[in-house]
Protein backbone atom coordinates (compact mmCIF):
# COMPACT_ATOMS: atom_id res chain seq x y z
CA UNK A 1 0.00 0.00 0.00
CA UNK A 2 1.23 3.49 -0.84
CA UNK A 3 1.38 6.56 1.36
CA UNK A 4 -1.65 8.86 0.91
CA UNK A 5 -0.77 11.39 -1.77
CA UNK A 6 -1.19 14.49 0.40
CA UNK A 7 1.44 13.10 2.79
CA UNK A 8 4.08 12.94 0.05
CA UNK A 9 5.89 15.88 1.57
CA UNK A 10 8.93 16.47 -0.69
CA UNK A 11 6.70 17.37 -3.64
CA UNK A 12 5.40 20.25 -1.51
CA UNK A 13 8.44 21.11 0.60
CA UNK A 14 11.83 19.90 -0.70
CA UNK A 15 14.24 19.19 2.17
CA UNK A 16 16.68 22.02 2.79
CA UNK A 17 20.43 21.84 3.19
CA UNK A 18 21.95 22.23 6.63
CA UNK A 19 25.71 22.48 7.06
CA UNK A 20 25.68 21.36 10.69
CA UNK A 21 27.14 17.86 11.07
CA UNK A 22 25.61 15.21 13.33
CA UNK A 23 26.58 15.38 16.95
CA UNK A 24 27.08 12.97 19.74
CA UNK A 25 25.27 11.02 22.35
CA UNK A 26 23.73 13.23 24.99
CA UNK A 27 24.29 11.18 28.12
CA UNK A 28 27.27 10.82 30.42
CA UNK A 29 28.39 10.29 34.01
CA UNK A 30 29.54 13.21 36.18
CA UNK A 31 30.97 13.41 39.68
CA UNK A 32 32.05 16.49 41.62
CA UNK A 33 31.60 17.99 45.05
CA UNK A 34 28.76 20.55 45.36
CA UNK A 35 31.10 23.14 46.94
CA UNK A 36 33.61 22.91 44.11
CA UNK A 37 34.29 26.47 42.88
CA UNK A 38 33.43 25.38 39.33
CA UNK A 39 29.92 24.32 40.30
CA UNK A 40 26.58 26.09 40.30
CA UNK A 41 23.83 24.58 42.44
CA UNK A 42 20.40 24.28 40.86
CA UNK A 43 17.34 25.76 42.52
CA UNK A 44 16.11 22.65 44.34
CA UNK A 45 19.56 21.64 45.63
CA UNK A 46 19.53 18.00 44.61
CA UNK A 47 21.44 18.47 41.34
CA UNK A 48 24.67 20.34 40.74
CA UNK A 49 26.59 21.42 37.66
CA UNK A 50 30.20 22.17 36.85
CA UNK A 51 32.75 22.57 34.11
CA UNK A 52 35.82 20.41 33.66
CA UNK A 53 39.03 21.72 32.18
CA UNK A 54 37.74 20.43 28.83
CA UNK A 55 34.87 22.93 29.00
CA UNK A 56 32.28 20.15 29.15
CA UNK A 57 29.15 20.56 31.28
CA UNK A 58 28.93 18.13 34.18
CA UNK A 59 26.02 16.99 36.28
CA UNK A 60 25.48 14.74 39.29
CA UNK A 61 22.98 14.04 41.98
CA UNK A 62 23.90 15.67 45.28
CA UNK A 63 23.55 12.50 47.33
CA UNK A 64 26.02 9.82 48.39
CA UNK A 65 29.32 9.16 50.11
CA UNK A 66 32.22 11.57 50.12
CA UNK A 67 35.57 10.97 48.47
CA UNK A 68 37.92 13.31 46.60
CA UNK A 69 36.74 15.68 43.88
CA UNK A 70 38.55 15.14 40.58
CA UNK A 71 38.62 18.84 39.74
CA UNK A 72 39.33 20.49 43.10
CA UNK A 73 40.93 19.56 46.46
CA UNK A 74 37.60 19.25 48.27
CA UNK A 75 35.80 15.93 48.87
CA UNK A 76 33.32 14.82 46.29
CA UNK A 77 30.16 12.72 46.47
CA UNK A 78 30.40 9.24 45.00
CA UNK A 79 27.55 7.25 43.51
CA UNK A 80 28.96 4.06 44.90
CA UNK A 81 31.68 2.11 43.15
CA UNK A 82 32.46 1.15 39.58
CA UNK A 83 31.80 3.85 37.03
CA UNK A 84 30.92 6.35 39.74
CA UNK A 85 34.49 6.43 41.02
CA UNK A 86 35.85 7.82 37.75
CA UNK A 87 36.79 11.45 37.43
CA UNK A 88 35.37 13.50 34.57
CA UNK A 89 38.79 14.78 33.47
CA UNK A 90 40.38 11.35 33.12
CA UNK A 91 41.00 10.46 29.48
CA UNK A 92 41.61 6.80 30.22
CA UNK A 93 38.41 6.41 32.24
CA UNK A 94 36.00 8.14 29.88
CA UNK A 95 33.31 5.70 28.72
CA UNK A 96 32.54 4.95 25.07
CA UNK A 97 29.80 7.56 24.74
CA UNK A 98 31.99 10.27 26.24
CA UNK A 99 34.73 9.46 23.71
CA UNK A 100 32.20 9.78 20.90
CA UNK A 101 30.99 13.08 22.32
CA UNK A 102 34.52 14.51 22.63
CA UNK A 103 35.37 13.63 19.03
CA UNK A 104 32.15 14.99 17.57
CA UNK A 105 32.02 18.11 19.73
CA UNK A 106 35.13 19.27 17.91
CA UNK A 107 33.17 19.12 14.66
CA UNK A 108 30.13 21.14 15.80
CA UNK A 109 29.61 24.20 13.59
CA UNK A 110 27.52 27.28 14.25
CA UNK A 111 24.15 26.65 12.62
CA UNK A 112 22.17 29.27 10.73
CA UNK A 113 18.39 29.24 10.92
CA UNK A 114 17.05 27.76 7.67
CA UNK A 115 14.28 29.21 5.55
CA UNK A 116 12.08 26.32 6.65
CA UNK A 117 12.28 23.66 9.33
CA UNK A 118 11.69 20.12 8.12
CA UNK A 119 10.35 19.13 11.54
CA UNK A 120 9.42 21.19 14.58
CA UNK A 121 8.51 19.36 17.77
CA UNK A 122 6.34 21.00 20.41
CA UNK A 123 6.73 19.15 23.68
CA UNK A 124 7.95 18.79 27.23
CA UNK A 125 11.63 19.44 27.82
CA UNK A 126 12.72 17.09 30.59
CA UNK A 127 16.13 15.99 31.86
CA UNK A 128 16.23 12.20 32.25
CA UNK A 129 18.01 10.28 35.00
CA UNK A 130 18.17 6.71 33.71
CA UNK A 131 19.32 3.78 35.82
CA UNK A 132 19.21 -0.01 36.02
CA UNK A 133 17.47 -1.40 39.12
CA UNK A 134 16.00 -4.73 40.20
CA UNK A 135 12.43 -5.61 41.16
CA UNK A 136 13.33 -5.47 44.85
CA UNK A 137 14.28 -1.80 44.48
CA UNK A 138 10.87 -0.94 43.05
CA UNK A 139 9.16 -2.79 45.88
CA UNK A 140 11.33 -1.07 48.46
CA UNK A 141 10.43 2.42 47.24
CA UNK A 142 6.79 1.50 46.62
CA UNK A 143 6.67 2.01 42.83
CA UNK A 144 4.52 -0.15 40.55
CA UNK A 145 6.63 -1.66 37.81
CA UNK A 146 6.02 -0.52 34.23
CA UNK A 147 4.03 2.59 35.15
CA UNK A 148 4.49 6.32 34.71
CA UNK A 149 3.74 8.55 37.67
CA UNK A 150 3.84 12.32 38.14
CA UNK A 151 5.66 13.10 41.40
CA UNK A 152 6.38 16.19 43.47
CA UNK A 153 9.75 17.47 44.63
CA UNK A 154 9.73 15.45 47.87
CA UNK A 155 8.88 12.15 46.15
CA UNK A 156 11.59 12.69 43.59
CA UNK A 157 14.17 13.34 46.30
CA UNK A 158 13.16 10.17 48.15
CA UNK A 159 13.73 8.01 45.07
CA UNK A 160 16.99 9.72 44.16
CA UNK A 161 18.34 9.08 47.66
CA UNK A 162 17.34 5.43 47.35
CA UNK A 163 19.30 5.25 44.07
CA UNK A 164 22.60 6.04 45.79
CA UNK A 165 24.98 3.29 44.72
CA UNK A 166 23.17 2.60 41.44
CA UNK A 167 24.72 3.27 38.06
CA UNK A 168 22.75 5.84 36.10
CA UNK A 169 23.10 8.58 33.51
CA UNK A 170 21.74 12.06 32.89
CA UNK A 171 20.46 13.05 29.45
CA UNK A 172 18.44 15.74 27.73
CA UNK A 173 15.45 13.48 27.59
CA UNK A 174 11.75 13.37 26.98
CA UNK A 175 9.83 11.24 24.51
CA UNK A 176 9.72 13.87 21.78
CA UNK A 177 13.39 14.80 22.03
CA UNK A 178 14.30 11.12 21.60
CA UNK A 179 12.39 11.12 18.31
CA UNK A 180 13.90 14.40 17.14
CA UNK A 181 17.48 13.39 17.94
CA UNK A 182 17.05 10.08 16.10
CA UNK A 183 15.52 11.91 13.13
CA UNK A 184 18.33 14.47 13.03
CA UNK A 185 20.92 11.70 13.07
CA UNK A 186 19.15 9.73 10.37
CA UNK A 187 19.01 12.92 8.32
CA UNK A 188 22.61 14.02 8.73
CA UNK A 189 25.25 13.20 6.12
CA UNK A 190 22.81 10.86 4.46
CA UNK A 191 23.31 9.39 1.01
CA UNK A 192 19.57 9.76 0.35
CA UNK A 193 19.38 13.55 0.35
CA UNK A 194 20.34 16.80 2.07
CA UNK A 195 20.53 17.11 5.83
CA UNK A 196 17.26 17.59 7.68
CA UNK A 197 16.58 20.73 9.71
CA UNK A 198 15.11 19.60 13.04
CA UNK A 199 14.02 21.84 15.89
CA UNK A 200 12.10 21.75 19.16
CA UNK A 201 10.06 24.29 21.09
CA UNK A 202 9.11 23.78 24.70
CA UNK A 203 9.65 25.11 28.18
CA UNK A 204 12.83 25.01 30.24
CA UNK A 205 13.77 27.07 33.24
CA UNK A 206 16.62 29.51 33.61
CA UNK A 207 18.25 27.01 35.99
CA UNK A 208 21.36 24.91 35.19
CA UNK A 209 19.19 21.98 34.14
CA UNK A 210 17.65 24.16 31.44
CA UNK A 211 21.09 25.14 30.16
CA UNK A 212 22.13 21.50 30.19
CA UNK A 213 19.06 20.51 28.16
CA UNK A 214 19.49 23.19 25.50
CA UNK A 215 23.20 22.48 25.07
CA UNK A 216 22.82 18.72 24.77
CA UNK A 217 20.11 19.05 22.10
CA UNK A 218 22.30 21.50 20.20
CA UNK A 219 25.14 18.99 20.20
CA UNK A 220 22.72 16.40 18.86
CA UNK A 221 21.92 18.74 15.93
CA UNK A 222 18.44 19.59 17.23
CA UNK A 223 17.87 23.33 17.61
CA UNK A 224 15.98 24.21 20.81
CA UNK A 225 14.26 27.46 19.86
CA UNK A 226 12.36 28.53 22.99
CA UNK A 227 13.85 31.00 25.44
CA UNK A 228 14.25 29.88 29.08
CA UNK A 229 11.56 30.87 31.57
CA UNK A 230 12.97 33.39 34.02
CA UNK A 231 13.27 31.93 37.56
CA UNK A 232 11.67 28.69 36.32
CA UNK A 233 12.83 25.15 37.16
CA UNK A 234 13.24 22.50 34.47
CA UNK A 235 11.37 19.21 34.76
CA UNK A 236 13.04 15.84 35.26
CA UNK A 237 12.14 12.20 34.67
CA UNK A 238 13.60 9.27 36.59
CA UNK A 239 13.63 6.25 34.26
CA UNK A 240 14.15 2.94 36.09
CA UNK A 241 14.83 -0.12 33.93
CA UNK A 242 14.67 -3.66 35.36
CA UNK A 243 16.60 -6.69 34.00
CA UNK A 244 13.57 -7.76 31.95
CA UNK A 245 13.91 -4.47 29.99
CA UNK A 246 10.73 -2.99 31.48
CA UNK A 247 10.79 0.73 32.28
CA UNK A 248 9.18 2.62 35.15
CA UNK A 249 9.06 6.43 35.02
CA UNK A 250 8.65 9.16 37.62
CA UNK A 251 8.05 12.62 36.14
CA UNK A 252 8.64 15.88 37.99
CA UNK A 253 7.24 18.66 35.82
CA UNK A 254 9.04 21.59 37.45
CA UNK A 255 7.66 25.11 37.53
CA UNK A 256 8.20 25.98 33.87
CA UNK A 257 5.95 23.40 32.25
CA UNK A 258 3.27 25.58 30.66
CA UNK A 259 3.97 26.62 27.06
CA UNK A 260 2.51 29.93 25.95
CA UNK A 261 1.61 30.73 22.36
CA UNK A 262 3.34 33.94 21.35
CA UNK A 263 4.34 35.67 18.08
CA UNK A 264 7.77 34.03 18.16
CA UNK A 265 6.33 30.51 18.32
CA UNK A 266 3.85 31.41 15.58
CA UNK A 267 6.67 32.60 13.33
CA UNK A 268 8.53 29.31 13.79
CA UNK A 269 5.48 27.19 13.06
CA UNK A 270 4.77 29.19 9.90
CA UNK A 271 8.11 27.99 8.50
CA UNK A 272 7.68 24.29 9.35
CA UNK A 273 7.00 21.30 7.11
CA UNK A 274 5.92 18.85 9.84
CA UNK A 275 4.72 19.90 13.30
CA UNK A 276 4.88 17.14 15.93
CA UNK A 277 2.77 17.59 19.08
CA UNK A 278 3.84 15.54 22.10
CA UNK A 279 0.93 13.97 23.98
CA UNK A 280 2.35 14.78 27.40
CA UNK A 281 1.60 18.46 26.69
CA UNK A 282 -2.11 17.75 27.05
CA UNK A 283 -1.56 17.18 30.79
CA UNK A 284 -0.26 20.69 31.40
CA UNK A 285 -2.56 23.53 32.52
CA UNK A 286 -3.92 25.71 29.73
CA UNK A 287 -1.57 24.14 27.14
CA UNK A 288 -4.48 22.90 25.02
CA UNK A 289 -4.95 26.52 23.92
CA UNK A 290 -1.36 26.65 22.72
CA UNK A 291 -1.71 23.31 20.94
CA UNK A 292 -4.87 24.44 19.14
CA UNK A 293 -3.36 27.73 17.98
CA UNK A 294 -0.17 25.97 16.88
CA UNK A 295 -2.15 23.46 14.81
CA UNK A 296 -4.22 26.23 13.24
CA UNK A 297 -1.06 28.10 12.24
CA UNK A 298 0.54 24.92 10.88
CA UNK A 299 -2.54 24.11 8.84
CA UNK A 300 -2.70 27.65 7.40
CA UNK A 301 0.88 27.26 6.18
CA UNK A 302 0.46 23.80 4.66
CA UNK A 303 2.39 21.80 7.27
CA UNK A 304 1.61 18.23 8.19
CA UNK A 305 0.59 17.69 11.83
CA UNK A 306 1.60 14.62 13.84
CA UNK A 307 0.44 13.77 17.37
CA UNK A 308 2.16 11.32 19.72
CA UNK A 309 -0.07 9.50 22.22
CA UNK A 310 2.66 9.40 24.90
CA UNK A 311 0.85 7.48 27.67
CA UNK A 312 -2.44 5.68 28.39
CA UNK A 313 -3.06 7.58 31.63
CA UNK A 314 -2.49 10.83 29.78
CA UNK A 315 -5.10 9.84 27.17
CA UNK A 316 -7.60 8.86 29.84
CA UNK A 317 -7.24 12.18 31.67
CA UNK A 318 -7.30 14.32 28.52
CA UNK A 319 -9.45 12.19 26.22
CA UNK A 320 -11.69 14.98 24.87
CA UNK A 321 -8.76 17.35 24.27
CA UNK A 322 -6.84 14.66 22.39
CA UNK A 323 -9.77 13.94 20.10
CA UNK A 324 -10.40 17.64 19.53
CA UNK A 325 -6.92 17.93 18.02
CA UNK A 326 -6.86 14.53 16.29
CA UNK A 327 -10.24 14.92 14.62
CA UNK A 328 -9.66 18.47 13.42
CA UNK A 329 -5.95 18.65 12.64
CA UNK A 330 -3.92 15.43 12.79
CA UNK A 331 -2.41 13.91 9.65
CA UNK A 332 -0.37 11.33 11.58
CA UNK A 333 -0.88 9.67 14.98
CA UNK A 334 1.80 7.64 16.77
CA UNK A 335 0.64 5.23 19.50
CA UNK A 336 1.44 1.87 21.02
CA UNK A 337 -1.19 -0.86 21.22
CA UNK A 338 -2.55 0.14 24.64
CA UNK A 339 -2.68 3.83 23.71
CA UNK A 340 -4.44 3.07 20.43
CA UNK A 341 -7.07 0.99 22.25
CA UNK A 342 -7.52 3.84 24.76
CA UNK A 343 -8.23 6.25 21.87
CA UNK A 344 -10.83 3.82 20.50
CA UNK A 345 -12.35 2.90 23.88
CA UNK A 346 -11.45 -0.69 23.05
CA UNK A 347 -10.75 -3.24 25.79
CA UNK A 348 -9.65 -6.54 24.29
CA UNK A 349 -9.57 -5.73 20.59
CA UNK A 350 -6.34 -6.31 18.68
CA UNK A 351 -3.76 -3.73 17.70
CA UNK A 352 -4.76 -4.26 14.08
CA UNK A 353 -8.39 -3.43 14.88
CA UNK A 354 -7.34 -0.26 16.69
CA UNK A 355 -5.14 0.80 13.76
CA UNK A 356 -7.97 0.21 11.31
CA UNK A 357 -10.47 2.10 13.46
CA UNK A 358 -8.23 5.14 13.98
CA UNK A 359 -7.36 5.30 10.28
CA UNK A 360 -10.97 6.26 9.53
CA UNK A 361 -10.28 9.55 11.34
CA UNK A 362 -6.57 10.14 10.63
CA UNK A 363 -4.82 9.70 7.25
CA UNK A 364 -1.87 7.74 8.72
CA UNK A 365 -1.82 5.81 12.00
CA UNK A 366 1.23 4.04 13.46
CA UNK A 367 0.55 1.45 16.17
CA UNK A 368 3.46 -0.42 17.75
CA UNK A 369 2.97 -3.68 19.63
CA UNK A 370 6.38 -4.50 21.11
CA UNK A 371 7.88 -7.85 20.11
CA UNK A 372 4.75 -8.67 18.14
CA UNK A 373 5.52 -6.03 15.53
CA UNK A 374 3.51 -3.00 14.45
CA UNK A 375 0.73 -1.80 12.15
CA UNK A 376 0.34 1.16 9.84
CA UNK A 377 -3.29 2.12 9.34
CA UNK A 378 -4.51 3.90 6.21
CA UNK A 379 -8.12 4.32 5.02
CA UNK A 380 -9.55 1.57 7.18
CA UNK A 381 -6.81 -0.93 6.36
CA UNK A 382 -3.81 -1.99 8.44
CA UNK A 383 -0.42 -3.09 7.11
CA UNK A 384 1.45 -5.50 9.36
CA UNK A 385 5.14 -4.74 9.97
CA UNK A 386 7.06 -7.68 11.46
CA UNK A 387 9.46 -6.94 14.31
CA UNK A 388 13.16 -6.65 13.58
CA UNK A 389 15.24 -9.21 15.49
CA UNK A 390 17.17 -8.00 18.53
CA UNK A 391 18.12 -9.04 22.04
CA UNK A 392 16.17 -6.61 24.28
CA UNK A 393 18.23 -4.62 26.76
CA UNK A 394 16.07 -1.57 27.45
CA UNK A 395 12.63 -0.93 25.93
CA UNK A 396 12.67 2.74 26.92
CA UNK A 397 12.56 4.90 23.79
CA UNK A 398 11.48 2.15 21.38
CA UNK A 399 8.28 3.91 20.29
CA UNK A 400 10.12 7.22 20.00
CA UNK A 401 12.67 5.62 17.70
CA UNK A 402 9.92 3.99 15.61
CA UNK A 403 8.28 7.38 15.08
CA UNK A 404 11.56 8.83 13.82
CA UNK A 405 11.73 6.13 11.15
CA UNK A 406 8.24 6.96 9.87
CA UNK A 407 8.94 10.69 9.81
CA UNK A 408 12.26 10.10 8.07
CA UNK A 409 10.56 8.05 5.36
CA UNK A 410 7.99 10.77 4.73
CA UNK A 411 10.63 13.49 4.56
CA UNK A 412 12.74 11.44 2.14
CA UNK A 413 9.81 11.02 -0.20
CA UNK A 414 9.09 7.33 0.34
CA UNK A 415 5.65 6.21 -0.82
CA UNK A 416 5.97 2.53 0.14
CA UNK A 417 4.36 2.14 3.58
CA UNK A 418 5.80 -1.34 4.08
CA UNK A 419 9.33 -0.06 3.45
CA UNK A 420 8.85 2.86 5.83
CA UNK A 421 7.50 0.54 8.48
CA UNK A 422 10.45 -1.82 8.12
CA UNK A 423 12.88 1.08 8.54
CA UNK A 424 11.01 2.25 11.64
CA UNK A 425 11.07 -1.29 13.02
CA UNK A 426 14.83 -1.55 12.50
CA UNK A 427 15.45 1.81 14.19
CA UNK A 428 13.37 0.70 17.19
CA UNK A 429 15.18 -2.64 17.38
CA UNK A 430 18.57 -0.91 17.51
CA UNK A 431 17.43 1.25 20.44
CA UNK A 432 15.86 -1.69 22.28
CA UNK A 433 19.12 -3.63 21.91
CA UNK A 434 21.18 -0.99 23.74
CA UNK A 435 21.24 0.77 27.09
CA UNK A 436 19.79 4.25 26.63
CA UNK A 437 17.04 5.88 24.59
CA UNK A 438 19.07 7.66 21.91
CA UNK A 439 19.90 6.29 18.47
CA UNK A 440 23.68 6.37 18.12
CA UNK A 441 25.31 8.27 15.28
CA UNK A 442 26.99 5.27 13.68
CA UNK A 443 23.77 3.23 13.81
CA UNK A 444 21.82 6.11 12.27
CA UNK A 445 24.27 6.34 9.35
CA UNK A 446 24.00 2.61 8.70
CA UNK A 447 20.19 2.67 8.81
CA UNK A 448 19.95 5.74 6.56
CA UNK A 449 22.24 4.15 3.96
CA UNK A 450 20.17 0.97 4.03
CA UNK A 451 16.97 2.96 3.54
CA UNK A 452 18.56 4.95 0.69
CA UNK A 453 19.30 1.66 -1.07
CA UNK A 454 15.71 0.55 -0.48
CA UNK A 455 14.38 3.82 -1.92
CA UNK A 456 16.60 3.53 -4.99
CA UNK A 457 15.56 -0.08 -5.56
CA UNK A 458 11.88 0.81 -5.15
CA UNK A 459 12.19 3.66 -7.65
CA UNK A 460 13.94 1.40 -10.17
CA UNK A 461 11.21 -1.24 -9.82
CA UNK A 462 8.53 1.43 -10.16
CA UNK A 463 10.14 2.83 -13.32
CA UNK A 464 10.51 -0.64 -14.83
CA UNK A 465 6.88 -1.38 -14.03
CA UNK A 466 5.74 1.90 -15.58
CA UNK A 467 7.74 1.25 -18.76
CA UNK A 468 6.31 -2.24 -18.97
CA UNK A 469 2.74 -0.96 -18.63
CA UNK A 470 3.25 1.80 -21.21
CA UNK A 471 4.60 -0.71 -23.73
CA UNK A 472 1.56 -2.92 -23.53
pLDDT for 236-281, tens place per residue?
989 898 888 788 989 888 876 678 899 999 999 999 999 999 999 9
Asked if the model's pLDDT at residue 89 lies above 50, the reply is no
Interior CA angle at 189 toward 96 and 14, to 5°? 140
Q: Under a CB-based contact definition with an 8 Å cutoff, are residues 410 and 420 in contact?
A: yes
Going from the C-alpha of 326 to that of each of 260, 319, 463, the distances in angstroms are: 20, 11, 36
Q: How confident is the model at residue 319 (pLDDT cuts 50, 70, 90)?
A: very high
Least confident of 37-46, 159-168, 282-291: 37-46
pLDDT averaged over the chain? 76
pLDDT in tens, 109-146: 334 678 899 999 999 888 888 888 999 999 998 999 98
Please give the backbone phi and psi of residue 373, each rounded to the nearest 5 degrees, phi first.
Answer: 110, -150
What pLDDT shows up at residue 152? 87
What pLDDT shows up at residue 456? 65
Q: What is the CATH number of domain 5-19+116-125+172-233+267-466?
A: 3.40.1190.20
What pLDDT shows up at residue 149? 87
Q: How confident is the model at residue 148 (pLDDT cuts 50, 70, 90)?
A: confident
Residue 452 or 76, more confident: 452
Residue 16 or 210, more confident: 210
What's the predicted TM-score (pTM) here? Answer: 0.74
Residue 323: how many CB atoms within 10 A of its CB?
Answer: 14
Axis crossing angle, helix 441-471 with helix 175-186, rounded to the nearest 10: 60
Residue ranges of domains in the chain: 5-19+116-125+172-233+267-466, 30-94
pLDDT in tens, 450-466: 887 666 666 544 443 43
Which among 175, 162, 190 is positioned nearest to 398, based on CA atoms?
175
Strand partners, 263: none
Asked if the model's pLDDT at residue 190 lies above 70, the reply is no
Amino acid sequence: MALPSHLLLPSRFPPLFNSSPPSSSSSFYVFAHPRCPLLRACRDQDIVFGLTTHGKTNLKLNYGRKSRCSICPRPRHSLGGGQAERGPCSESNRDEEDEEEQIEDEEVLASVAPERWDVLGLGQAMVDFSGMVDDEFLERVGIEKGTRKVVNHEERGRVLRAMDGCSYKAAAGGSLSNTLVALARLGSRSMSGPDLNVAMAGSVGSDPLGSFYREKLRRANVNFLSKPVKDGTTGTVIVLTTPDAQRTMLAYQGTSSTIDYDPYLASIISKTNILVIEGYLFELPHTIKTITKACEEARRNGALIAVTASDVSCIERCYDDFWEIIANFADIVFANSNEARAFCNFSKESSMSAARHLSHFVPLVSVTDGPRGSFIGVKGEAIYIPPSPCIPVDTCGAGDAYASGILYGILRGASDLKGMGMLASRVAAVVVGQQGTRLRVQDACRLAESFAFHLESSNVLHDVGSDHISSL
